[in-house]
Structure 1
Amino acid sequence: MTKLNDSKQTLQLLGIAALNEMQEAAVSNIVQHKNVLLLSPTGSGKTLAFLIPLLEHLNPKGKLVQALVLTPSRELAIQIEQVWKAMQTGYKIICSYGGHDMPTEINSLVEPPALLVGTPGRIADHLKRRTFDPKGIRLYIFDEFDKSLALGFEEDMEYITKALKPEVQKVFVSATASIAIPAFAEPKQLVVLNFLKGRDEAPTVEMHTVWSPEKDKVNTLYDLLCTLGKVPVIIFCNHREAVERTGSLLAELGIANTIFHGGMEQMQREQALIKFRNGTAQYLIATDLAARGLDIPDIDHIVHYHLPSTNAEFTHRNGRTSRMNSKGNVYLILHEDETLPNYLPETPPTFSLKLHAPPPAASEWGTVYLNGGKKDKLNKVDIVGLFIQKGNLTKEELGLIMVKDHNCFVAVKKSKISSLLKLVREEKIKGKKFLIMEAR
Structure 2
Amino acid sequence: MFENIRLSFQGIFGHKMRSFLTMLGIIIGIAAIIAIVSTIKGTNDQIKDNLIGAGNNLVNVKLSSGGYDISVNEMPEETMSKLPIINGDMINEMKDLEDVKDICAYHDSVLYEGVSYKDNGLTGVKVIGSDNSYLTINSYQVNSGRFFVPDDFSKHRNVCIIDRDTSDSLFEGETPVDKTIIIKGMPFIVVGVVSPEDEAEPVINSIEEYQTIYGDDFYSGTGKVIIPDECWPDVFAYDQPYQVIVKANSTESISSAGKVVEEYLNSMIDTSSSFGNDMGEEQETVKYKRENTLEKVKALQDISNSTSQQLIWVASISLLVGGIGVMNIMLVSVTERTREIGLKKALGARKKVILGQFLTEAAVLTSIGGIIGVGAGIGLSYFISNVASVPVAISVPAIIVSVGFSMVIGIVFGLLPSVKAANLNPIDALRYE
- TM-score, normalising length from structure 2? 0.20
More helix by share: 2
Higher relative contact order (CA 8 A, sep 6+): 2
- TM-score, normalising length from structure 1? 0.20
